[in-house]
Amino acid sequence: MTFTIRPAVRGKIGLLFGIAGASGSGKTFSALTLAEGIKGDGGKIAVIDTEAGRALHYAPKPGDKADPSKGTFDFLHLDFPAPFTPQRYIEAIQAAEQAGATVIVIDSMSHEWDGEGGCSDMAEQAAIAAATDRNGTFHAWKVESMTAPSWKKPKQAHKRMMARLIQTRTHLIFCLRAQEKIKFEKVVDEKTGKAKTEIRHLGFMPICEKSFMFELSGSMTMHPETPGEPRYDLPRKLNHELQAIFSAGERITFDKGIRLRHWAETGEDRPPVDHDAENARDLVEAIQDADQEKLQRITSNPKTIQFRKYLSENRTDLAERVDLAVQAALDGFSSEDDDGEIAA
């Protein structure tokens, strides 16, 4: 593999912006207000709604026109019921993009981690399955030992989702639920010298994978006491330029959305989409997820054979990734008999 080195030049990005908050903190309204400023002339907002249609509270009544100054917005609505798997979030975003959305609000992203069918649920179900024997008898004592390995697939699914989000060209705003966290600490009483347990309040923390908020372009957390305002005493990721846009104590406004779009779109154009790389990535993931029978079908499919031949002649770097994925899968099936052989 060769590396390309050139002078660093700022480039345009697709925004990944997170707004976390407890109920009543104004995160949905703030997200729509930002989206209204980001979309610009001719842009379109879409809302991916995991909250049973709650986003529709911000839509105009039949026959009325949207008026952001009065709390109503013009947007496409995508109802997103469970299961909230990482892959379905990607599919929902792709559907919104195909509908013409230029800025997408995902409300709520917390379900990907802590909702029905989300990563935590996937891990729990995997642990239960692993603790159930072939006769269908569940052994509760096995669950704890199965917890760590049960997280392998959910974490892989989350990583795949993040890789796709980072590559998106559409501006994305994520709303996340937040809950108040506490920590029990043992301290020594200065008067008696005896140990005692105290409760330390950590404030509102976003419900998501632990590094999610910090992998975004920017993020903030709001508090019900100061709805619509970024709180600098709560988890956030705002560089000096974003801090100039989102000052502590100032409510989110349409103008801040315009400034955020300008920040994201300042720089040279991004290179065109590498469709070969995207297709190779999809093939590698299909190979990684396949059982032996499915892998046989994938590798013997004429389209797959033709695509791998094209890669070997034109994109050797991608061809190598596919070859390695196939070999890794074959190694995993090494216990199979010769009748189940799969051609690499």
List the beta strands (DSSP E) in 92-194: 103-107, 171-188
Q: pLDDT confidence of 343, banded at 50, 70, 90? A: low
Q: Is residue 220 within a helix (H) or strand (E), and if so which, with residue range? A: strand 218-222
On average, the pLDDT of the chain sits at 90
Question: Same domain for 292 and 256?
Answer: no
Instruction: Report which DSSP code applies to 130.
Output: H
Whether 342 shows a pLDDT value over 70: the answer reads no
Please tell me which residue, 202 or 53, carries the higher pLDDT value. 53
Q: How many CB atoms lie within 10 A of CB 260?
A: 25
Is residue 228 one of the residues assigned to a domain? yes
Is residue 33 one of the residues assigned to a domain? yes
CA dihedral 277, 279, 281, 286 (to 10 degrees): -170
Domain that residue 69 falls in:
16-264
Is residue 7 one of the residues assigned to a domain? no
Question: Same domain for 214 and 165?
Answer: yes
Is residue 3 one of the residues assigned to a domain? no
Question: Same domain for 217 and 106?
Answer: yes
Report the pLDDT value the prediction gives residue 100, as an integer from 0 to 100: 96
Give me the number of domains the chain comprises.
2
Report the pLDDT value the prediction gives residue 47, as an integer from 0 to 100: 98
Please tell me which residue, 2 or 126, carries the higher pLDDT value. 126
Whether 338 shows a pLDDT value over 70: the answer reads no
Question: Same domain for 322 and 203?
Answer: no
Question: Same domain for 59 and 208?
Answer: yes
Is residue 4 one of the residues assigned to a domain? no
Q: pLDDT confidence of 184, banded at 50, 70, 90? A: confident
Contact 284, 26 (CB under 8 A): no
Report pLDDT digits (tens) over 123-173.
999 988 888 888 888 777 777 777 888 999 999 999 999 999 998 889 999
Q: pLDDT confidence of 1, banded at 50, 70, 90? A: low
Contact 321, 280 (CB under 8 A): yes
Report the pLDDT value the prediction gives residue 265, as an integer from 0 to 100: 92
Q: Quote the distance between the C-alpha of residue 12 and its chain's center.
A: 20
Report pLDDT digits (tens) over 246-296.
999 899 999 999 999 999 999 988 888 899 999 999 999 999 999 999 999
Report the pLDDT value the prediction gives residue 262, as an integer from 0 to 100: 95
Question: Same domain for 285 and 253?
Answer: no
Report pLDDT digits (tens) over 55-69.
999 999 999 999 998
Which of these three, 230, 264, 298, is where a domain ends? 264
Find all residues with CB under 8 Å of 58, minimum gap 6, and list them: 28, 29, 32, 71, 72, 73, 75
Question: Same domain for 131 and 242?
Answer: yes
**Burial (0-12, 13-18, 19+ Cβ within 10 Å), 150:** buried
Q: Quote the distance between the C-alpha of residue 314 and its chain's center.
A: 32
Q: How is 302-343 classified by DSSP, letter by letter? A: HHHHHHHHHHHHH-HHHHHHHHHHHHHHHHHTTTS-GGG---
Whether 82 shows a pLDDT value over 70: the answer reads yes
Q: What is the mean pLDDT of residues 240-248?
A: 95
Question: Same domain for 304 and 160?
Answer: no
Please tell me which residue, 86 or 167, carries the higher pLDDT value. 86
Q: Quote the distance between the C-alpha of residue 271 and its chain's center.
A: 23
Question: Same domain for 248 and 286?
Answer: no
Whether 21 shows a pLDDT value over 70: the answer reads yes
Whether 197 shows a pLDDT value over 90: the answer reads no
Question: Same domain for 217 and 142?
Answer: yes
Which of these three, 208, 243, 264, is where a domain ends? 264
Short-list 55, 160, 57, 68, CA closest to 108: 55
Q: Which two tokens stand for residue 176?
A: 């996340």
Is residue 219 one of the residues assigned to a domain? yes
Report the pLDDT value the prediction gives residue 122, as an integer from 0 to 100: 95
Question: Same domain for 196 and 47?
Answer: yes
Question: Same domain for 208 and 297?
Answer: no
Is residue 184 one of the residues assigned to a domain? yes
Contact 55, 47 (CB under 8 A): yes
Report the pLDDT value the prediction gives residue 132, as an integer from 0 to 100: 85
Is residue 283 one of the residues assigned to a domain? yes
Whether 336 shows a pLDDT value over 80: the answer reads no
Q: What is the mean pLDDT of residues 110-123?
A: 96
Which of these three, 234, 264, 294, is where a domain ends? 264
